[in-house]
Structure 1
Amino acid sequence: MDFRWTELGCLASLLVQASGPSLVKCARSLATLTCWEIWKERNRRIFEGARLPIAGLLARIHDEARLGKLAGGLIPFDPG
């Protein structure tokens, strides 16, 4: 699986342009989402003996960010 998250540049641009509460909300939401996905990967490795490649983990974070945005979450950008 060849995964490239081209939106990383857009995300970096958003974080630079955002200010005040919107920057804090965005950063916290992304940090929480990333930690949650890493935790789930840890559990998958320990309890299921399965490993997701880094590209797969990034894809999951991307997909969850997109779904969170669609559900009206705090990530104020469109991850594509």
Structure 2
Amino acid sequence: MSETPTESIREVRDHLADVVDRAEREDVPTVVTRRGKEVAAVVSIDTLRQFQHWEEEELNRIVDERMADDDPGAPLDEVVAETLERPQ
């Protein structure tokens, strides 16, 4: 797998259509930086929707696990934090 392209906001602004085309047609995300810090990514809509679907499934799985447990439960913020900490 090749390295993900990383570009500054200024660079992306100069050729945004190319960055979007690369995400859409080649399924290659671009990491966007501001002052050298990664702040965003341009991904295809399919990639975003797949991630959202995975996230929803993972939350539902955790909720199902917790409901099956005799433990009185955990606050939703803990469940969300646990989900976000898991490797993808």
Bigger fraction of residues in helix: 1
TM-score by length of 1: 0.46
Larger radius of gyration: 2
TM-score by length of 2: 0.42
